[in-house]
């Protein structure tokens, strides 16, 4: 049995064509069913529906053999015990620094001011501001980061951006592009040894689908 951990929503939806390329068809719709273990057309493959931030944990401890997780989540979690064979190039976005319109970020940085930064990405933000030599006081939030600069909780946020629509709607502007984000395949290292052939077949099928999609785009 191969157990694959996925999160509902964007990653699940964008992973379906990749699964299809590996001849895996999920039989339930996680948005409609309350089941957390989903059957597939293949008796040897099942899908666990877990919280996005829990995917690396399930795979690391062997609750799942493999999983699909955002690079953002992976960097925050750390990659101990995780083999990362593929960038699946789905759920693409970026991690950026944003501030309220009218806040002079550049001059704050130039003057060496302390910045209060709200984020759920504590590790990524800490490393980014340390490398820049900016003294950042980090405030951990779990969602709706955009509110922090509007309420005076923070000067800046570090958050995911895709179209920038949410920032604009909240009168925020992007002032730094920290890194590009996409989803990665992660595999439990022990499972990779014990179930090498079936796991390799899935990795190869995903890789083929990713390559074909790149050729179509190019």
Which residues in 134-153 contact ligand ATP (CB under 6 A)? 143
CB of 181 to ligand ATP, least distance (A): 5
- 86-121 burial, b at 16+ Cβ within 10 Å, e below that, comes to bebbbbebbbbbbbbeebebeebbeeeeebebbbbb
- SS3 of residue 137 by DSSP: strand
Residue 42 burial (10 A CB sphere; 0-12, 13-18, 19+): middle
70 touching ligand ATP, by CB under 6 A: yes
Measured CA to CA, the distance from residue 123 to residue 145 in angstroms comes to 16
Residue 183 or 207 having the CB closest to ligand ATP? 183
The site that binds ligand ATP (CB under 6 A) totals a number of residues, namely: 17
Residue 160 contacts residue 72 (beta carbons within 8 Å): yes
53 touching ligand ATP, by CB under 6 A: yes
160 touching ligand ATP, by CB under 6 A: yes
Q: Kindly tell me which residue out of 4, 6, 11, 199 binds ligand ATP, with binding defined by CB under 6 A.
A: 11
Measured CA to CA, the distance from residue 160 to residue 212 in angstroms comes to 27
- SS3 of residue 31 by DSSP: coil
Residue 71 or 209 having the CB closest to ligand ATP? 71
How far from 131 is each of 111, 125, 126, 178, CA to CA, in Å? 16, 10, 9, 11
9 touching ligand ATP, by CB under 6 A: yes
17 touching ligand ATP, by CB under 6 A: no
CB of 8 to ligand ATP, least distance (A): 7
208 touching ligand ATP, by CB under 6 A: no
Q: Kindly tell me which residue out of 68, 93, 141, 148 binds ligand ATP, with binding defined by CB under 6 A.
A: 93
Residue 40 contacts residue 28 (beta carbons within 8 Å): no
Contact residues for 187 (Cβ-Cβ < 8 A; gap 6+): 59, 65, 66, 82, 83, 84, 85, 199, 203
Q: Kindly tell me which residue out of 47, 118, 172, 181 binds ligand ATP, with binding defined by CB under 6 A.
A: 181
Q: Kindly tell me which residue out of 19, 52, 59, 202 binds ligand ATP, with binding defined by CB under 6 A.
A: 52
Residue 68 or 115 having the CB closest to ligand ATP? 68
CB of 212 to ligand ATP, least distance (A): 21
Which residues lie near ligand ATP (CB under 6 A)? 7, 9-11, 52-53, 70, 72-73, 91-93, 143, 160, 162, 181, 183
């Amino acid at each position: 049995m191969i157990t694959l951990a996925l999160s509902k929503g964007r990653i699940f939806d964008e992973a379906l064509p990749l699964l299809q390329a590996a001849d895996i068809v999920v039989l339930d719709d996680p948005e409609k069913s309350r089941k957390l273990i989903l059957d597939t057309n293949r008796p040897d493959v099942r899908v666990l529906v877990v919280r996005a931030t829990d995917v690396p944990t399930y795979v690391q401890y062997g609750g799942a053999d493999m999983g699909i997780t955002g690079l953002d989540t992976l960097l925050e979690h750390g990659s101990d015990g995780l083999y990362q064979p593929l960038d699946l190039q789905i759920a693409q976005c970026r991690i950026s620094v944003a501030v309220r319109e009218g806040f002079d970020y550049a001059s704050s940085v130039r003057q060496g001011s302390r910045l209060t930064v709200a984020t759920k990405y504590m590790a990524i933000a800490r490393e980014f501001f340390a490398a820049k030599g900016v003294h950042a006081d980090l405030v951990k939030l779990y969602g709706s980061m955009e509110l922090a600069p509007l309420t005076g909780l923070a000067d800046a946020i570090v958050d995911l951006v895709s179209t920038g629509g949410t920032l604009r709607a909240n009168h925020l502007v992007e002032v730094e592009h920290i890194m590009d984000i996409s989803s990665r395949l992660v595999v439990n290292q022990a499972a990779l040894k014990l179930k090498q052939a079936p796991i390799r077949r899935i990795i190869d099928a995903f890789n083929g689908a990713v390559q074909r999609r790149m050729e179509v785009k190019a």
